[in-house]
Amino acid sequence: MAKKFIITWDQMHSYCRELAEKQMPAEQWKGIWAVSRGGLVPGAILARELGIRHVDTVCISSYDHDHQRDMTVVKAPEGDGEGYLIVEDLVDSGDTARKLREMYPKAKLIAVCAKPAGVELLDDYVVDIAQETWIEQPWDMSIQYVEPINRKQK
């Protein structure tokens, strides 16, 4: 993937607030199931914005930073998902979303960002991303000092 889309902490917070607004009224939700690990931060922000205290995780492993591998369900709440929001940071190929739909047919599946290959599997999202673009999430980056250009040339 040649293109990159960098999401800052401020942008993530703003996107999550926008996503939370779409989930109102909050009283309709029993809780949030955040997909570990990408959905953890968005799940926490949505829980705060919606006033939801019941937060759990669905742990599905399919990526190691930028390498996709076989999908493994590590932890899964019981039930069909009725009354729950399942939160992801990104739906890419749709493989994880497909698995979540199979596991929790009555849950509402939402994500901050969506790529075309997986967008149809979502009930809600806020940011469209081109399929060939790699997303850098704020929790995967650090801010560091960069030497001014004029000093590098000396």
Question: How far separated are the first and last CA of the chain, in Å rounded?
Answer: 34
Alpha-carbon distances, residue 110 vs 36, 93, 121, 135 (angstroms): 14, 15, 9, 17
| 120 marked as part of a ligand binding site | no
Q: Is 8 annotated as a binding residue?
A: no
101 marked as binding residue:
no
Asked whether the bond before 42 is cis by omega within 30 degrees of 0, the reply is no
Q: Is 69 one of the annotated binding-site residues? A: yes
91 labelled binding-site residue? yes
Q: Is 37 annotated as a binding residue?
A: yes
How many C-beta atoms surround the C-beta of residue 113 within 10 A?
A: 25
Binding residue ranges for 5-phospho-alpha-D-ribose 1-diphosphate: 37-38, 69, 88-96
Binding residue ranges: 37-38, 69, 88-96, 134-135
Binding residue ranges for xanthine: 92, 135
Binding residue ranges for GMP: 69, 92-96, 134-135
